[in-house]
Structure formats: structure tokens, C-alpha cells
Amino acid sequence: MSNTDAKYGFGTRLVQMGRVKSDEQTFVNPPLERGSSVLFPSIAARDAVRQRPYDQVLTYGLKGSSTHFHLEDSIAEIEGGSRCQLVSTGLAAVTTVLFTFIKGGQHCLMPDSVYGPTRTFLATIGKDCGMAVTYYPPAIDEAGLRALVQDNTVVIYAESPGSHTMEVQDIAMLSRVARDVGAKVLMDNTWGFSHFKPFEHGVDCSIQAGTKYVGGHSDLMLGAITTNSDENWQRLRNTAVTLGQYASPDDCWLALRGLRTLRIRMAEHMRAGIEVAEWLRDRPEVTLVLHPALPGAPGHDLWKRDFTGACSLFSVVLDASYDYADMVAFIDALQLFGIGASWGGFESLVLPTTGSITRLPVSSIDAAPTFRLHIGLEDTTDLIADLAAGLDVLNQHRASRT
């Protein structure tokens, strides 16, 4: 477990955590440790280690090295939890935690705004394994949520904000309902990493796609699951090891390096994201900017109550007079926004979301063209100028078809 002194501020702890202090000469960053076989001096020594399956000890490469242990402790400390399990990807973190807490014949409640591959897992492998699921509106009230609980409900899942439509969920309410019915609260907290304290709001397991802001440089794949108790940790650890889940030590080392600058990167991402979002909100081509940190935006009151900050991922709804082809012309005209999935790196990204999101029939998310932006670390004056030029192309394309 991390021993970073809690009296220090967040930035200081980010610099200090996950590092080995020594009285001898040493490099600033802990060395990268990778391997498969672990050698023991005797059978007694091997047997002693094998009696500690939930501790950070060297037993076999699959179960981690000091590189993994440093990162596990750091993420657990940032999340405010007890232990952390590293896995290969963010999606692996989702599926591993679902396999841990939902068995065949059991039921989970899932927000309708959930990450698409999570939905795909439940509709395919999860269904084949007997996992039952009911999707609920992410902004559901307590009475509505309680009405969906079944006798076999064991998990209430949350993703806040939602991946594309940015709904902020009332996690405290979800946790209250879960406690009353004996269910676990599992939360994808990737958007809120370092800005939302999941365990202070009743979450049992917090999921991170370390690929995003943890790494921060779009060059690693990583997932993390943080727990709040020994019981949850042991269940999770058993599942992860049994499934053969493993995170590359090279990616873990890069993630440790990325954590050192997390505070200043997140502060700049937040500032830049809000500046660009405010500019877009005032454009006549835009109907709605889905950024929870903007006053008046959907979910802003819950964001203001529960979060200490924001990242730079948000969505934009165009006026209904534009069609999908108009939006494509706009996106193709952008010079500083790469077209791609993922987010959290230093570069700005854009992704069309219209027509690519599965939701309940009552949703109206495709009423107008919608795209998602990740604001990177470029100068915001340049990003805004690029968007302005793109919106000119948007208008020209609409005019050409009228």
C-alpha cells in the first residue's frame, strides 16, 4: 500500500507516490521490472509466498512485479480506495468486474448511456453466461430505479458522465438503493479520474481506462479496478487471476510517468475544454453543448455538487437544419482535430456520434447531428479558429444542397 503522507497536497503526492525512497544513489523513476518466472531460494520460501495470494509479493509474472505494485498503489490512492487490480485495457476492466460480481441467473441494472462495448459484452458473452440486464435512463429518479430492482439484482452499474451523451448520474442515490437491496455499485469513473471520489459516494468498485488521462500521451493500453474493502478485493483478484488478466509492465511504467504530470495536465484540459465549449455554445450552428461543467448544461447541478473539476471530453449537438453529410464536411475540414476514438491524450480529437449509439427507443439522441470533442493541449485560440473555419464549411455544405 502507498505510504504517501496525506498531509501533502495532491500535486505533491502525485510526484512522491509510487517511488522507492533509498539512502543510496537511485534514479528518480523506479526501474521497469518485467518477467515471467520468479526464482525462490527454497521450497519453504516459495510455500510462504504462496500463502499470501492477495498481497503484493513476487510469485509469477502474471501476478505482478514491483512496476505493477507501484502503479496499483498510486491509482488506489488517487481514487481513495484500498486496493487496485491492473488489467490489459479499459474494456477488460469492465468485463473483469462484471464477471466478478454477476453470476449466471443474476441481474444487473445498467445506465442506457453506458460505453458501447460494455453493452456489446452484456448482449453477447454476458447473455451466454446467463447475466440478465435492464437498462435504465441515466437521469432516473430514486422511485423509478427502485421499481426496476428485481429479486436477483446484484449490481447497479454507473457511468458518469456517459461516454457520448454526458449524463451525470446521482451516484449517492444509486448507492443508497444498492445498499437497501444488497447490490454492489460498480462505476466507470474514467471521465472523473482525480475529480470524483467514488468511495465517498458509496461505490464498491471504480473502473478506470488508464489508456486515457492516466497515461496522457495516447501510447499505452491499460485498465484499472479499485476496490473499497478486503472482501471486494479478494473476489476481484480471484477473477482477474483466473481469467489471466495482465497489464504490460512497459505500459504500467509509462502510466506511472504520466501520473507525475496529471495535476497540471488535467487543470489545462479543464480550462481549455470549458473555453472551447463556451465558444461553441454561443455559435448559431449549435443547439446544445453537453459539457457538465457549463452552467445550464444537463447535469450541471450534480456535477457542481459531486465533482471537484472536469476533463475536456464533451459533445456538441448541431441545429436540426444540418444533416449528417453537413457534419461530415465540417469534421473533414478540421486541421487540428484528429478523427479517432479514445481520448485523454495531449492531442485534440473529434468523433461523429450520430447513428453510432445504441439507446432505448424512448431516447431522442439522433434528432440532430452530434459529435464528440476531446480538447487537447494545443493553444485554444488555434483550436477555436480551426472550429470556426470548419463551421464555415458546414454552412457552405448546407447551402449547396438547398
Q: Which domain CATH number covers 297? A: 3.90.1150.10
CA distances from 247 to 117, 250, 344 (A): 19, 9, 19
Distance CA(206)–CA(357), nearest Å, equals: 24
- Relative orientation angle of helices 90-101 and 116-123, to the nearest 10 degrees: 40
Residue 34 belongs to some domain of the structure: yes
Q: Are residues 144 and 278 in the same domain?
A: no
| Residue 150, phi then psi, degrees to nearest 5 | -110, 170
Q: What is the distance between the alpha carbons of residues 224 and 396, in angstroms, rounded to a whole number?
A: 45
In this structure, the answer to whether residues 241 and 290 fall within a common structural domain is no
Give the model's pLDDT for residue 1.
45
Return phi, psi of residue 390, to 5°: -65, -40
Same domain, 80 and 167: yes
The mean pLDDT of 2-7, rounded to a whole number, is 65
For residue 401, the SS3 value is coil
Is the domain of 166 the same as that of 189? Answer: yes
Classified as helix, coil or strand, 339 is strand
Alpha carbon separation from 94 to 65, 259, 276 (Å, rounded)? 23, 22, 31
DSSP state of 32: P
Phi, psi of 128 (to 5 degrees): -60, -30
pTM beyond 0.95: the answer is no
* Domain assignment of residue 1, yes or no: no
> What is the torsional sign of CA 175, 181, 186, 187?
negative
Averaged over 380-397, what is the pLDDT? 98
* Residues in Cβ contact with 358 at an 8 Å cutoff, skipping those fewer than 6 apart: 116, 119
Return the bridge partners of 107, or none. Answer: 132, 153
Q: Kindly report the number of other CB atoms within 10 A of residue 319's CB atom.
A: 16
Contacts 24+ apart (CB under 8 A), 305-308: 306/168, 306/171, 306/172, 306/196, 306/201, 307/192, 307/195, 307/196, 308/195, 308/196
Residues 87 and 142 in one domain: yes
Q: Does residue 83 sit in the same domain as residue 115? A: yes
Q: How confident is the model at residue 27 (pLDDT cuts 50, 70, 90)?
A: confident
| Inside any domain, residue 153 | yes
82/212 same-domain check: yes
Last residue in a domain, options 233, 257, 281: 257
Averaged pLDDT for residues 316-337: 97
The pLDDT, as a whole number, for residue 26 is 77
CATH number, residue 200: 3.40.640.10
Overall number of domains in the chain:
2
Which range among 152-161, 273-282, 337-346, 360-369 shows the weakest confidence by mean pLDDT?
360-369
DSSP string of 177-242, one letter each residue: HHHHHTPEEEEE-STTTTT--GGGGT-SEEEEETTTTTT-SS----EEEEESSHHHHHHHHHHHHH
Give the domain range for residue 328: 262-400
**Is the pLDDT confidence value at 131 over 70?**
yes
Q: What's the rounded Cα separation, in Å, for the pair 218 and 240?
A: 25
| Amino acid symbol at 272 | A
Torsional sign, CA 232, 234, 235, 237: positive
What's residue 16's pLDDT?
86
Give the pLDDT band (50/70/90) at residue 324.
very high
